[in-house]
Copies of this chain bind each other. A is one copy, B any other.
């Protein structure tokens, strides 16, 4: 029983892993994709529920749905329905409890990558 179910007001159910069931490899895999990382960054900036439709992503609707599903099943986001809209929220507290510092480090890394800022003017030292 890897996941728990959570009811919604509309009766549709979406599977979410409990905190203790969130797997490190699944979280890393979920974050190891530029589109999913973009979704997570947007959610982190917004700190609120966002409808999937609110994301301006360079992929098809079905691909978008797939990416949100990967994030949800990994335990990175929580989703619920409001009417016909599927709303998403980052599970920041759950991830921090399970893997302290991980999401913060990934978001900071994504910000650095997005800015294409080299962390240091000096090249890699030989090792």
Q: Name A88-127 residues within 8 Å CB distance of B.
A: 89, 91, 93-94, 97-102, 104-106, 108-110, 112-113, 118-120, 123-125, 127
**Are B19 and A28 in contact, with the CB atoms below 8 A?**
no
Minimum CB–CB distance from A51 to chain B (whole Å) comes to 17
**Are B112 and A18 in contact, with the CB atoms below 8 A?**
no
Report the separation of the CA atoms of residues A37 and B33 in the bound assembly, to the nearest whole angstrom: 18
In the complex, whether A57 has a CB less than 8 A from a CB of chain B is no
In the complex, whether A25 has a CB less than 8 A from a CB of chain B is yes
**Are A24 and B94 in contact, with the CB atoms below 8 A?**
no
Contact of A106 among B23, B24, B104 (CB under 8 A): B24
Copies of this chain, complex-wide, total 2
Chain A residues with a Cβ closer than 8 Å to the other chain, count: 40
In the complex, whether A72 has a CB less than 8 A from a CB of chain B is no
Q: Which residues of B contact A125 (CB under 8 A)?
A: 93
| Chain A residues engaging chain B, CB cutoff 8 angstroms | 18-20, 23-26, 28-29, 31-34, 37, 78, 89, 91, 93-94, 97-102, 104-106, 108-110, 112-113, 118-120, 123-125, 127
The 3 A-B pairs with the shortest beta carbon distances in the complex, nearest first, are A28-B32, A99-B109, A101-B105
Known: A25-B33, A100-B105, A105-B105. 18 other contacts (CB 8 A): A19-B118, A19-B120, A19-B124, A24-B113, A25-B32, A28-B28, A28-B31, A91-B127, A93-B125, A93-B127, A94-B124, A94-B127, A98-B112, A98-B119, A99-B112, A100-B108, A101-B105, A101-B108
